[in-house]
Amino acid sequence: MTHPLRTALVTGSAGFIGYHLCSLLLAQGWRVIGVDALTDYYDVSLKQDRQSKLLQSPHFRAVNDRIETPGLLADLFEDHRPDAVIHLAAQAGVRYSIEAPESYVEANLIGTFRLLEAARAHPPAHMLLASTSSVYGANTAMPYGETDKADTQMSFYAATKKANEAMAHSYAHLYNLPTTMFRFFTVYGPWGRPDMALFKFTRAILDDDPIDVYNHGRMKRDFTYVDDLVAAIAKLIEVAPVRPDQDTPPSPPDDSLSPVAPYRIVNIGNASPVPLMVFIEAIEAAIGRSARKNLMDMQPGDVPATWADTTLLNRLTGSSPTTPVADGVARFVAWYRDYYRV
Protein backbone atom coordinates (compact mmCIF):
# COMPACT_ATOMS: atom_id res chain seq x y z
CA MET A 1 0.00 0.00 0.00
CA THR A 2 1.42 3.40 -0.94
CA HIS A 3 0.96 6.44 1.24
CA PRO A 4 0.25 9.88 -0.22
CA LEU A 5 3.06 12.37 0.02
CA ARG A 6 2.75 15.13 2.55
CA THR A 7 2.47 18.53 0.93
CA ALA A 8 4.51 21.56 1.92
CA LEU A 9 3.79 25.03 0.60
CA VAL A 10 6.96 27.14 0.60
CA THR A 11 6.86 30.84 -0.19
CA GLY A 12 10.08 32.37 -1.48
CA SER A 13 11.00 29.00 -2.97
CA ALA A 14 13.46 30.41 -5.54
CA GLY A 15 15.22 32.46 -2.89
CA PHE A 16 18.46 31.50 -1.21
CA ILE A 17 16.99 29.80 1.85
CA GLY A 18 13.82 28.70 0.06
CA TYR A 19 15.78 26.84 -2.60
CA HIS A 20 17.82 24.93 -0.03
CA LEU A 21 14.73 24.12 2.04
CA CYS A 22 12.75 22.88 -0.97
CA SER A 23 15.69 20.72 -2.03
CA LEU A 24 15.82 19.14 1.43
CA LEU A 25 12.07 18.57 1.68
CA LEU A 26 11.98 16.95 -1.77
CA ALA A 27 14.86 14.68 -0.73
CA GLN A 28 12.86 13.76 2.40
CA GLY A 29 9.86 12.72 0.31
CA TRP A 30 7.63 15.78 0.45
CA ARG A 31 5.53 17.18 -2.37
CA VAL A 32 6.39 20.88 -2.54
CA ILE A 33 4.38 23.81 -3.91
CA GLY A 34 6.83 26.68 -4.33
CA VAL A 35 5.64 30.28 -4.65
CA ASP A 36 8.08 32.94 -5.81
CA ALA A 37 7.69 36.20 -7.74
CA LEU A 38 11.26 36.10 -9.12
CA THR A 39 11.59 39.82 -8.40
CA ASP A 40 14.55 41.83 -9.63
CA TYR A 41 15.82 42.90 -6.18
CA TYR A 42 18.91 40.97 -7.28
CA ASP A 43 19.96 38.97 -10.35
CA VAL A 44 16.84 37.16 -11.55
CA SER A 45 18.89 34.57 -13.44
CA LEU A 46 20.21 33.27 -10.11
CA LYS A 47 16.64 32.73 -8.92
CA GLN A 48 15.69 31.12 -12.23
CA ASP A 49 18.63 28.72 -12.00
CA ARG A 50 17.65 27.71 -8.47
CA GLN A 51 14.08 27.11 -9.61
CA SER A 52 15.23 25.10 -12.64
CA LYS A 53 17.07 22.72 -10.33
CA LEU A 54 13.98 22.27 -8.18
CA LEU A 55 11.83 21.61 -11.25
CA GLN A 56 13.95 18.54 -12.00
CA SER A 57 11.86 16.82 -9.32
CA PRO A 58 8.41 15.59 -10.41
CA HIS A 59 7.16 16.46 -6.91
CA PHE A 60 7.88 20.19 -7.20
CA ARG A 61 5.43 22.71 -8.63
CA ALA A 62 6.45 26.34 -9.21
CA VAL A 63 3.98 29.21 -8.93
CA ASN A 64 5.55 32.47 -10.10
CA ASP A 65 3.55 35.29 -8.57
CA ARG A 66 3.62 37.75 -5.67
CA ILE A 67 2.26 36.51 -2.38
CA GLU A 68 0.34 39.77 -1.93
CA THR A 69 -1.70 39.10 -5.10
CA PRO A 70 -5.35 38.90 -3.95
CA GLY A 71 -6.68 35.34 -4.06
CA LEU A 72 -3.39 33.66 -5.03
CA LEU A 73 -2.60 32.01 -1.70
CA ALA A 74 -6.27 31.42 -0.88
CA ASP A 75 -6.64 29.40 -4.06
CA LEU A 76 -3.42 27.44 -3.49
CA PHE A 77 -4.48 26.53 0.06
CA GLU A 78 -7.91 25.44 -1.17
CA ASP A 79 -6.53 23.39 -4.06
CA HIS A 80 -3.61 21.70 -2.27
CA ARG A 81 -4.51 21.71 1.46
CA PRO A 82 -0.84 21.81 2.55
CA ASP A 83 0.18 19.88 5.65
CA ALA A 84 2.97 22.35 6.39
CA VAL A 85 3.45 25.96 5.30
CA ILE A 86 6.90 27.55 5.44
CA HIS A 87 6.72 31.27 4.76
CA LEU A 88 10.07 32.64 3.62
CA ALA A 89 8.98 35.15 0.96
CA ALA A 90 9.82 38.70 1.99
CA GLN A 91 11.51 41.84 0.87
CA ALA A 92 14.87 41.35 2.57
CA GLY A 93 17.72 43.62 3.50
CA VAL A 94 18.28 46.16 6.26
CA ARG A 95 19.86 48.79 4.03
CA TYR A 96 17.39 48.56 1.15
CA SER A 97 14.52 49.18 3.59
CA ILE A 98 15.82 52.74 3.95
CA GLU A 99 15.68 53.27 0.18
CA ALA A 100 12.41 51.49 -0.68
CA PRO A 101 10.25 51.03 2.44
CA GLU A 102 6.98 50.62 0.55
CA SER A 103 8.16 47.34 -0.97
CA TYR A 104 8.47 46.01 2.60
CA VAL A 105 4.88 47.00 3.37
CA GLU A 106 3.62 45.16 0.28
CA ALA A 107 5.61 41.93 0.60
CA ASN A 108 6.17 41.62 4.35
CA LEU A 109 2.94 43.05 5.77
CA ILE A 110 0.27 42.60 3.09
CA GLY A 111 1.81 39.35 1.78
CA THR A 112 1.93 37.83 5.26
CA PHE A 113 -1.66 38.96 5.89
CA ARG A 114 -2.77 37.14 2.71
CA LEU A 115 -0.99 34.00 3.96
CA LEU A 116 -2.62 34.14 7.38
CA GLU A 117 -6.06 34.60 5.84
CA ALA A 118 -5.52 31.62 3.55
CA ALA A 119 -4.43 29.51 6.52
CA ARG A 120 -7.48 30.58 8.51
CA ALA A 121 -9.71 29.16 5.77
CA HIS A 122 -7.71 25.93 5.30
CA PRO A 123 -5.56 25.34 8.39
CA PRO A 124 -2.31 23.38 7.91
CA ALA A 125 -0.96 21.14 10.64
CA HIS A 126 1.88 23.62 11.19
CA MET A 127 2.69 27.13 9.99
CA LEU A 128 6.33 28.23 10.11
CA LEU A 129 7.19 31.85 9.34
CA ALA A 130 10.57 33.51 8.95
CA SER A 131 11.50 36.37 11.20
CA THR A 132 15.01 37.72 11.74
CA SER A 133 17.64 38.37 14.40
CA SER A 134 17.25 42.03 13.45
CA VAL A 135 14.11 42.19 15.62
CA TYR A 136 16.39 42.22 18.68
CA GLY A 137 17.39 45.72 17.55
CA ALA A 138 19.08 47.81 20.22
CA ASN A 139 19.26 44.94 22.73
CA THR A 140 22.78 44.64 24.14
CA ALA A 141 22.44 41.65 26.49
CA MET A 142 23.73 38.57 24.64
CA PRO A 143 23.21 35.87 23.62
CA TYR A 144 19.77 36.90 22.40
CA GLY A 145 17.01 34.74 23.88
CA GLU A 146 13.54 34.29 22.43
CA THR A 147 11.90 35.50 25.64
CA ASP A 148 13.94 38.74 25.71
CA LYS A 149 11.92 41.89 25.22
CA ALA A 150 12.42 43.03 21.61
CA ASP A 151 10.74 46.38 21.06
CA THR A 152 13.59 48.56 19.76
CA GLN A 153 13.95 47.63 16.09
CA MET A 154 16.54 49.78 14.29
CA SER A 155 15.43 49.33 10.67
CA PHE A 156 12.09 49.30 8.90
CA TYR A 157 12.87 45.78 7.67
CA ALA A 158 13.16 44.60 11.28
CA ALA A 159 9.99 46.48 12.18
CA THR A 160 8.00 44.64 9.50
CA LYS A 161 9.31 41.31 10.77
CA LYS A 162 8.35 42.15 14.36
CA ALA A 163 4.92 43.07 13.02
CA ASN A 164 4.75 39.67 11.31
CA GLU A 165 5.39 38.00 14.67
CA ALA A 166 2.51 39.94 16.26
CA MET A 167 0.18 39.27 13.32
CA ALA A 168 0.92 35.55 13.38
CA HIS A 169 0.38 35.35 17.14
CA SER A 170 -3.07 36.92 16.84
CA TYR A 171 -4.11 34.42 14.16
CA ALA A 172 -2.66 31.52 16.15
CA HIS A 173 -4.73 32.61 19.15
CA LEU A 174 -7.96 33.44 17.31
CA TYR A 175 -8.04 30.46 14.93
CA ASN A 176 -5.94 27.86 16.77
CA LEU A 177 -3.26 27.79 14.04
CA PRO A 178 -0.11 26.01 15.28
CA THR A 179 2.59 28.55 14.44
CA THR A 180 6.36 28.73 14.80
CA MET A 181 8.28 31.92 14.09
CA PHE A 182 11.99 31.41 13.51
CA ARG A 183 14.54 34.18 13.92
CA PHE A 184 17.42 33.65 11.50
CA PHE A 185 20.98 34.74 12.25
CA THR A 186 23.16 35.82 9.26
CA VAL A 187 22.64 32.89 6.93
CA TYR A 188 25.33 32.16 4.33
CA GLY A 189 26.37 29.44 1.91
CA PRO A 190 26.24 28.31 -1.75
CA TRP A 191 23.55 29.91 -3.94
CA GLY A 192 23.56 32.89 -1.55
CA ARG A 193 22.21 36.38 -2.17
CA PRO A 194 24.43 38.83 -4.10
CA ASP A 195 23.55 41.64 -1.67
CA MET A 196 25.08 39.78 1.27
CA ALA A 197 28.61 40.39 2.51
CA LEU A 198 30.04 36.98 1.59
CA PHE A 199 28.92 37.27 -2.03
CA LYS A 200 30.08 40.87 -2.38
CA PHE A 201 33.44 40.24 -0.70
CA THR A 202 34.15 37.13 -2.77
CA ARG A 203 33.34 38.90 -6.03
CA ALA A 204 35.43 41.96 -5.12
CA ILE A 205 38.49 39.98 -4.00
CA LEU A 206 38.44 37.86 -7.16
CA ASP A 207 38.16 41.05 -9.24
CA ASP A 208 40.88 42.75 -7.15
CA ASP A 209 38.44 45.46 -6.11
CA PRO A 210 38.36 46.92 -2.58
CA ILE A 211 35.72 45.72 -0.11
CA ASP A 212 33.67 48.05 2.11
CA VAL A 213 34.16 47.08 5.76
CA TYR A 214 31.63 48.83 7.99
CA ASN A 215 32.24 50.07 11.52
CA HIS A 216 35.96 49.70 10.71
CA GLY A 217 35.55 45.94 11.09
CA ARG A 218 34.43 46.13 14.72
CA MET A 219 31.41 43.89 14.18
CA LYS A 220 30.45 40.33 15.10
CA ARG A 221 27.87 38.11 13.46
CA ASP A 222 26.42 34.72 14.39
CA PHE A 223 27.07 33.29 10.91
CA THR A 224 24.75 30.32 10.23
CA TYR A 225 25.46 27.88 7.42
CA VAL A 226 22.43 27.38 5.20
CA ASP A 227 22.42 23.56 5.32
CA ASP A 228 22.31 23.72 9.13
CA LEU A 229 19.48 26.23 8.97
CA VAL A 230 17.18 24.27 6.65
CA ALA A 231 17.86 21.05 8.56
CA ALA A 232 16.62 22.84 11.68
CA ILE A 233 13.50 24.07 9.86
CA ALA A 234 12.71 20.55 8.63
CA LYS A 235 12.96 19.24 12.19
CA LEU A 236 10.82 22.06 13.56
CA ILE A 237 8.04 21.13 11.12
CA GLU A 238 7.53 17.98 13.20
CA VAL A 239 7.21 19.76 16.56
CA ALA A 240 4.18 22.03 16.20
CA PRO A 241 3.34 24.02 19.34
CA VAL A 242 0.07 23.35 21.14
CA ARG A 243 -2.14 25.81 23.00
CA PRO A 244 -1.38 25.57 26.71
CA ASP A 245 -4.25 24.63 29.04
CA GLN A 246 -4.68 23.67 32.64
CA ASP A 247 -3.64 20.07 31.84
CA THR A 248 -0.38 21.13 30.16
CA PRO A 249 2.73 21.23 32.36
CA PRO A 250 4.25 24.72 32.51
CA SER A 251 6.90 25.29 29.86
CA PRO A 252 10.49 25.98 30.95
CA PRO A 253 11.22 29.66 31.63
CA ASP A 254 13.32 30.00 28.47
CA ASP A 255 10.56 28.57 26.23
CA SER A 256 8.83 31.26 24.17
CA LEU A 257 5.58 29.26 23.97
CA SER A 258 2.65 31.67 24.18
CA PRO A 259 0.41 31.34 27.27
CA VAL A 260 -2.71 31.80 25.10
CA ALA A 261 -1.91 30.37 21.66
CA PRO A 262 -0.22 27.44 19.87
CA TYR A 263 2.65 29.79 19.01
CA ARG A 264 6.40 29.78 19.61
CA ILE A 265 9.47 31.78 18.57
CA VAL A 266 12.72 29.88 17.91
CA ASN A 267 16.20 31.24 17.22
CA ILE A 268 18.18 29.48 14.49
CA GLY A 269 21.81 30.49 14.72
CA ASN A 270 25.28 29.07 15.19
CA ALA A 271 25.49 30.27 18.82
CA SER A 272 29.05 31.41 18.13
CA PRO A 273 29.57 35.04 17.05
CA VAL A 274 32.53 35.57 14.72
CA PRO A 275 34.37 38.90 14.30
CA LEU A 276 33.90 40.37 10.84
CA MET A 277 37.66 40.46 10.29
CA VAL A 278 37.89 36.72 11.02
CA PHE A 279 35.10 36.12 8.49
CA ILE A 280 37.05 38.13 5.91
CA GLU A 281 40.20 36.13 6.69
CA ALA A 282 38.25 32.93 5.98
CA ILE A 283 37.25 34.30 2.57
CA GLU A 284 40.85 35.33 1.84
CA ALA A 285 42.08 31.86 2.80
CA ALA A 286 39.50 30.12 0.60
CA ILE A 287 40.33 32.34 -2.38
CA GLY A 288 44.07 32.47 -1.78
CA ARG A 289 44.25 36.26 -2.08
CA SER A 290 44.20 39.18 0.36
CA ALA A 291 41.42 41.76 0.33
CA ARG A 292 41.93 45.49 -0.07
CA LYS A 293 39.81 46.93 2.73
CA ASN A 294 37.92 50.22 2.61
CA LEU A 295 37.19 50.89 6.30
CA MET A 296 33.92 52.78 6.78
CA ASP A 297 31.57 53.98 9.52
CA MET A 298 28.55 51.96 10.63
CA GLN A 299 25.60 52.08 8.25
CA PRO A 300 22.19 53.36 9.46
CA GLY A 301 19.96 50.61 10.81
CA ASP A 302 22.81 48.16 11.39
CA VAL A 303 23.86 46.61 14.70
CA PRO A 304 27.41 45.89 15.92
CA ALA A 305 26.82 42.28 16.98
CA THR A 306 24.41 39.32 16.94
CA TRP A 307 24.53 36.13 18.97
CA ALA A 308 21.82 33.47 19.25
CA ASP A 309 20.88 31.47 22.30
CA THR A 310 19.92 28.14 20.70
CA THR A 311 18.92 26.29 23.89
CA LEU A 312 15.29 26.09 22.80
CA LEU A 313 16.12 24.89 19.28
CA ASN A 314 18.34 22.19 20.74
CA ARG A 315 15.63 21.07 23.16
CA LEU A 316 12.96 20.91 20.44
CA THR A 317 15.01 19.23 17.71
CA GLY A 318 17.93 17.56 19.48
CA SER A 319 20.50 19.56 17.52
CA SER A 320 21.60 23.03 16.48
CA PRO A 321 23.86 24.53 13.79
CA THR A 322 27.57 23.77 14.18
CA THR A 323 29.33 24.29 10.81
CA PRO A 324 32.52 26.30 11.36
CA VAL A 325 32.76 29.52 9.35
CA ALA A 326 35.98 28.43 7.62
CA ASP A 327 34.26 25.31 6.27
CA GLY A 328 31.07 27.08 5.19
CA VAL A 329 32.97 29.92 3.50
CA ALA A 330 35.18 27.46 1.61
CA ARG A 331 32.07 25.69 0.27
CA PHE A 332 30.60 29.01 -0.86
CA VAL A 333 33.79 30.05 -2.65
CA ALA A 334 33.96 26.68 -4.40
CA TRP A 335 30.34 27.09 -5.54
CA TYR A 336 30.98 30.68 -6.68
CA ARG A 337 34.02 29.71 -8.76
CA ASP A 338 32.07 26.87 -10.38
CA TYR A 339 28.86 28.87 -10.99
CA TYR A 340 30.61 31.92 -12.45
CA ARG A 341 33.48 29.91 -13.99
CA VAL A 342 36.23 31.95 -12.33
**CA-based nearest residue to 129, from 221, 231, 296, 263:** 263
For the residues of 20-43, what is the DSSP string, one character each?
Answer: HHHHHHHHTT-EEEEE----TTS-
Omega prior to 143 cis, within 30 of 0? yes
Half-sphere exposure of 153 (CA within 13 A, CB side): 17
- Among residues 19, 42, 136, 157, the one annotated as catalytic is 157
Q: Measured between alpha carbons, how far is residue 60 from residues 12, 257, 281, 316 in Å?
A: 14, 33, 39, 28
Eight-class DSSP state of 55: T
Query: What is the rounded distance in angstroms from the CA atom of residue 140 to the CA atom of residue 174?
Result: 33
Say whether 136 is catalytic: no
What does residue 228 show for φ and ψ, rounded to 5 degrees? -65, -40
* H or E segment to which residue 175 belongs: helix 156-175
Beta strand 179-184 pairing with 263-268 = parallel
The amino acid present at 69, given as its one-letter code, is T
Give the contacts of 277 (CB within 8 A, at least 6 positions apart): 213, 217
For the residues of 195-236, what is the DSSP string, one character each?
Answer: TSHHHHHHHHHHTT--EEEGGGG--EE--EEHHHHHHHHHHH
Residues carrying an active site annotation: 157
